[in-house]
Amino acid sequence: MFATCRLHDVNPEKWLTHLLERIRVAAKDQLHLLLTQNYTTVTS
């Protein structure tokens, strides 16, 4: 996880917080949006 965050220049703590807040309510077909590489798109 943390290596992927570094690879995508994402703060791991912020991403993990984002993930944990949203994973329970995310639709199954939208889970890919919670991946690290998509986090910068969501937060930009």
Q: Which amino acid is at 2?
A: F
* CA–CA–CA angle 13, 41, 17 (5° rounding): 20
Q: What is d(CA 28, CA 44) in angstroms, rounded to the nearest whole number?
A: 23
Tell me the H-state helices in 1-44: 2-7, 12-22, 36-43
pTM: 0.81
- Tell me the pLDDT tens digit for each residue of 5-35: 999 999 999 999 999 999 999 999 999 999 9
In this predicted structure, the answer to whether residue 1 has a pLDDT above a threshold of 90 is no
In this predicted structure, the answer to whether residue 41 has a pLDDT above a threshold of 80 is no
> Bigger pLDDT: 41 or 22?
22
